């Protein structure tokens, strides 16, 4: 049997329980020695729900001091990505850190430099790069199926989805931003991935914080991450709506995103507009192709394996071989740079050249 890689998981919240622990349960080459959370009950619950996890701890330094631990998963809120990742790298551990890299580009670069200096793998949770539809579209783009792919448009808009209002999600100093950094990061990163080696030229962006200016007056049906909300005494200083335009040396990109809007429709898709062919990708789902010659709509048949398992298999392979893969920090910095530039453009209310 092949060697098992020993890991520790830091942060046992929604993404750990909803995506990573289930993926680990299907992977035969992992030993999960620690589940760590500041909230002891969450670490203990992880061990109870996933009996393959050996120990519950509340101080991640215990895992970092353990020589058996080769790699750690940083699944904490955005504000802790930098500190926990840097501590782990300095302790000689390989790191998988959830998206976004951290709250801004400058700190993201420091994380990349630390990993590079120490010869360690640092991967970021840009899971859509492993989504089967995205992989296929990237291949089709390379093969020239779209002809001249001149524009990509994406919409990540929801009727009511502001997460944890007043808590860390809506506090810029802790999250880095709102719907752009939280949802937009996935859409824009996967577009940059499909375009491949794209050079960013200019960006322009506007952000709005309108729907819960008065947090107590915000009406919603359900609230995602409600356990982190602090409507009475918290902060909401991030974008709940964003719109922007990006010029590159390849296709131009435009987008609209809303955590909340007074349009009762959710729109989560990406349109790839080529002169020979177009494609609409339903986010996390499949795509349809529209052929310019035949005017046919083509719905390819294929399976979509769990992207979280695919990204973890790739990470563990990287840890064991030392070979960097598609979600290595070095390849993800460009989308972190793009997010920073978009927020800077919104702050200055002006176009920015990169
Ligand atoms: N890739 C994706 O599709 C995806 C989806 C959702 C969330 N995320 C990202 O995952 C991260 C976590 O999001 P979440 O929704 O799971 O948050 P969450 O609040 O549900 O869970 C985070 C957990 O980390 C713990 N924590 C915080 N600081 C810690 C520390 N120093 N040591 C140990 N534990 C600590 C918290 O107590 C909490 O239980 C965020 O960065 C988010 O952007 C990614």
Kindly report, residue by residue over 240-292, the tens digit of the pLDDT: 999 999 999 999 999 999 999 999 999 999 999 999 999 999 999 999 999 99
pLDDT of residue 209: 98
pTM of the complete model? 0.97
Does residue 127 line the site of ligand 1, with CB under 6 A? yes
Position of tokens 């064991």? 320
Is residue 20 classed as helix, strand or coil in its secondary structure? helix
Percent of the chain with pLDDT over 70: 99
And the tokens for 84?
């926990």
Is 15's C-beta closer than 6 angstroms to any atom of ligand 1? yes
Q: Given this model, what pLDDT does residue 249 score?
A: 97
C-alpha 342 chain-centroid distance: 17
Closest residue by Cα to residue 184 from 21, 346, 353? 346
Task: Give the chain's domains with CATH numbers.
Answer: 5-127+308-326 (3.40.50.720), 129-306+336-353 (3.30.360.10)
Could you tell me the distance, in angstroms and rounded to a whole number, from the CA of residue 273 to the centre of ligand 1?
35
Task: Judge whether residue 304 has pLDDT over 80.
Answer: yes
Relative to the CA of 78, which ligand 1 atom is closest? 41
The overall average pLDDT reported for the chain is 97
Which residues touch 324 (CB under 8 Å, ≥6 apart)? Answer: 121, 318, 330, 331
pLDDT, average across residues 101-108: 96
Closest C-alpha to 268, from 284, 288, 245: 284
pLDDT score of 1 more than 60: no
Q: Please tell me what DSSP assigns to residue 102.
A: S
- The predicted structure's pLDDT at residue 3: 85
Verify whether ligand 1 is closer than 6 Å to residue 75 (CB atom). Answer: yes
Q: Which residue out of 75, 79, 166, 180 has the highest number of ligand 1 atoms within 8 Å of its CB and is therefore the one to mutate?
A: 75
In sequence order, the 6+-apart residues with CB closer than 8 A to the CB of 339 are 100, 105, 176, 177, 180, 181, 184, 185, 188
How many angstroms separate the CA atoms of 144 and 194, rounded?
A: 12
Please say if the pLDDT value at position 79 is more than 80: yes
Q: Note the pLDDT tens digit of each residue in 145-203.
A: 999 999 999 999 999 999 999 999 999 999 999 999 999 999 999 999 999 999 999 99
Instruction: Tell me how far apart the alpha carbons of residues 271 and 332 are, in angstroms, rounded to a whole number.
Output: 22
């Amino acid at each position: 049997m092949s060697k098992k890689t020993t890991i520790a998981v830091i942060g046992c919240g929604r993404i750990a329980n909803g995506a990573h622990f289930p993926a680990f349960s299907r992977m035969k080459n992992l030993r999960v020695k620690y589940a760590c959370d500041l909230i002891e009950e969450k670490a203990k619950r992880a061990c109870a729900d996933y009996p393959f996890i050996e120990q519950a701890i509340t101080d991640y330094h215990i895992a970092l001091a353990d020589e058996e631990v080769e790699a750690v998963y940083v699944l904490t809120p955005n504000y802790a990505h930098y500190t926990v990742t840097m501590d782990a790298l300095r302790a000689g551990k390989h790191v998988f850190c959830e998206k976004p890299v951290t709250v801004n580009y400058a700190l993201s670069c420091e994380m990349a430099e630390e990993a590079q200096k120490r010869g360690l793998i640092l991967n970021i949770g840009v899971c859509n790069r492993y989504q089967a539809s995205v992989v296929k579209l990237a291949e089709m783009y390379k093969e020239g199926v779209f002809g001249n792919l001149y524009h990509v448009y994406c919409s990540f808009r929801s009727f009511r989805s502001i997460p944890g209002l007043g808590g860390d999600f809506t506090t810029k100093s802790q999250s880095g931003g709102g719907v752009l950094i939280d949802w937009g990061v996935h859409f824009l990163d996967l577009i940059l991935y499909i375009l491949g080696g794209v050079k960013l030229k200019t960006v322009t962006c506007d952000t709005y914080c309108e729907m819960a200016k008065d947090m107590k007056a915000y009406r919603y049906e359900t609230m995602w991450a409600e356990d982190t909300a602090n409507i009475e005494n918290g902060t909401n200083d991030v974008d709940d709506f964003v719109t922007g335009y990006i010029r590159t040396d390849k296709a131009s990109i435009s987008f609209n995103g809303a955590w909340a809007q007074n349009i009762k429709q959710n729109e989560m898709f990406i349109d790839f507009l080529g002169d020979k062919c177009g494609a609409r990708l339903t986010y996390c789902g499949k795509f349809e192709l529209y052929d310019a010659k035949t005017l046919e709509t083509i719905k390819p048949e294929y399976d979509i394996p769990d992207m979280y398992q695919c990204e973890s298999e790739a990470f563990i392979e990287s840890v064991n071989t030392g070979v960097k893969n598609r979600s290595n920090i070095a390849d993800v910095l460009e989308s972190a740079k793009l997010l920073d530039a978009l927020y800077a453009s919104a702050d200055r209310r002006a176009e920015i050249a990169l």
